[in-house]
């Protein structure tokens, strides 16, 4: 009789709704306040001895899109080393996220926070040091999108933003750009300075390949971050320098590339810096219906390198409420030149406007997790 093998499997998921009221550039309309299904997803996590598997699939009815969030197989080599293969989060910046709110921070909308791609990775941890490294051949797999929307070979339907082969901007001229992310190397080093303080450094070296030219441009992005946990307080801070250097189909360098997620592409300045900070305070309640309340403020700004391109601002004050399997985020999202906070969806992360107004959206996200 053989030895018993330890097997585990867990099936879970969530259903989330948004209650929102928008205050954008256009005149107020009754439909600017609404209740909509945000997403529903299913996840599977399994383990067998030193192997594990994690998979999640999401559907977003409002975007008429559905896709893989992550899907990988992992193996624990020993107490220090862990390896994985598949679609998983890029080791870049603060993990697992630089934000406290439902809205993420601004780097998410630029493919620089909670971003997933297809490759192989390894994690090394010993005492106060952790090192994450990975090679990604390409972006996460193309999802499925309603036939009424235009799509491309990389795919607009995805969870995290990726460069897509549509068009790009050189000066004021829009031109075809058959580009995609190809062959990317990531490394993140984190060190626990004290019981309350973590510092980290991330690097991302990758290429953006133009299929028409059969040429690629290599680029380097980096991030420096710190995380502090003191009693009920949490503070996150990060500086990112990014570069999406690439060419249009004529061989001209692009000032802005198109990135896509949730079915829709938009322009993003090809080079710049992002600065962010967020602070939160958790209040334990431990009552029957409410376990805890976390109050927070997250702020980030994109400083684009090209002359004439205007900064993008992202400010999210709010609270999250944990009530057993129900999690609620109550946020006042405020933005300037922000692609998700405007009547003209997708505008703002490239040139933007020098007289852009501060737009806002009051949003309540309620999710049941199982």
How confident is the model over 50-71, as pLDDT tens digits?
999 999 999 999 999 999 999 9
The reported pLDDT for the residue numbered 257 is 99
The reported pLDDT for the residue numbered 146 is 87
Q: CB under 8 Å to 342, separation ≥6 — which residues?
A: 24, 25, 335, 348, 359
Quick count: other Cβ atoms within 10 Å of Cβ 281?
Answer: 14
The reported pLDDT for the residue numbered 90 is 99
The reported pLDDT for the residue numbered 2 is 43
Quick count: other Cβ atoms within 10 Å of Cβ 186?
Answer: 23
Q: Which residue has the tokens 């971003």?
A: 115
53: nearest Cα among 3, 5, 88, 14: 88
CA distance 179 to 166: 8
At 299, which helix (H) or strand (E)?
strand 292-304
Residue 263 near residue 149 (C-beta atoms within 8 A) = yes
CATH assignment of 9-369?
Answer: 2.40.160.10
Q: Where are the domains of the chain?
A: 9-369
Residue 111: C-alpha distances to residues 50, 258, 260, 265, 327 (Å):
32, 11, 9, 12, 25
Residue 202's Cβ-side half-sphere holds a number of Cα atoms within 13 Å equal to 25
> HEC states along 68-136?
EEEEEEEEECCCCEEEEEEEEECCCCCCCCCCCCCCCCHHHHHCCCCCEEEEEEEEEEECCEEEEEEEE
Widest CA span of the chain, in angstroms? 76
The reported pLDDT for the residue numbered 30 is 74
The reported pLDDT for the residue numbered 5 is 61
Residue 76 near residue 50 (C-beta atoms within 8 A) = yes
Core vs surface per residue 55-91: b (16+ CB within 10 A) or e: bbbbbbeebbbbbbbbbbebebeeeeebebebbbbbb
Residue 279 near residue 192 (C-beta atoms within 8 A) = no
The reported pLDDT for the residue numbered 22 is 96
Q: Which residue has the tokens 């893989």?
A: 68
> HEC states along 227-266?
EEEECCEEEEEEEEEEECCCECCCCCECCEEEEEECCEEE
The reported pLDDT for the residue numbered 3 is 43
Residue 242 structure tokens: 């990014």
State phi, psi for 110 to the nearest 5 degrees: -120, 15
State phi, psi for 351 to the nearest 5 degrees: -65, -40
Across-strand partners of 341? Answer: none
Residue 41 near residue 61 (C-beta atoms within 8 A) = no
Give pLDDT < 70 ranges for the chain. 1-5
How confident is the model over 147-169, as pLDDT tens digits?
778 899 999 999 999 999 999 99
CA dihedral 190, 314, 320, 89 (to 10 degrees): -40
The reported pLDDT for the residue numbered 31 is 72
């Amino acid at each position: 009789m053989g030895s018993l093998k330890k097997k585990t499997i867990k099936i879970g998921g969530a259903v989330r709704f948004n209650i929102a009221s928008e205050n954008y550039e256009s005149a107020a309309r009754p439909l600017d306040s609404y209740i909509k299904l945000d997403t529903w997803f299913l996840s599977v996590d399994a383990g067998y001895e030193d192997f594990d598997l994690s998979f999640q699939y999401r559907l977003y009815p409002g975007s008429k899109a559905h896709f893989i969030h992550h899907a990988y197989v992992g193996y624990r080599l020993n107490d220090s080393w862990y390896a994985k293969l598949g679609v998983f989060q890029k080791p870049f910046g603060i993990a697992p996220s630089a934000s406290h709110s439902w809205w993420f921070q601004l780097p998410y909308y630029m493919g620089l926070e909670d971003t997933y791609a297809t490759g192989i990775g390894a994690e090394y941890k010993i005492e106060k040091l952790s090192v994450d490294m990975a090679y990604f051949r390409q972006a996460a797999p193309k999802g499925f999108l309603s036939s009424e929307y235009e799509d491309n070979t990389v795919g607009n339907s995805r969870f995290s933003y990726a460069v897509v082969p549509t068009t790009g901007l050189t000066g004021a001229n829009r031109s075809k750009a058959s580009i995609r992310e190809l062959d990317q190397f990531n490394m993140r080093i984190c060190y626990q300075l004290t019981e309350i303080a973590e510092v980290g450094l991330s690097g991302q070296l990758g290429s953006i390949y133009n299929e028409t030219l059969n040429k690629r441009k290599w680029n380097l992005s980096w991030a420096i971050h710190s995380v502090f946990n003191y009693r009920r307080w949490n503070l996150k801070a990060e500086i990112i320098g990014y570069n999406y250097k690439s060419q249009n189909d004529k061989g001209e360098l692009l000032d802005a590339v198109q990135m896509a997620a949730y079915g829709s592409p938009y322009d993003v300045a090809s080079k710049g810096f992002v600065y962010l900070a967020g602070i939160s305070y958790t209040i334990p309640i431990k009552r029957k219906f409410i376990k805890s309340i976390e109050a927070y403020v997250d702020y980030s700004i994109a400083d684009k390198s090209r002359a004439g391109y205007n900064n993008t601002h992202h400010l999210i004050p709010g609270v999250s409420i944990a009530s057993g399997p129900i999690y609620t985020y109550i946020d006042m999202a405020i933005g300037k030149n922000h692609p998700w906070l405007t009547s003209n969806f997708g505008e703002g992360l490239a040139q933007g406007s020098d007289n852009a107004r501060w737009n806002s959206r009051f949003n309540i996200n309620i999710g049941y997790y199982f």
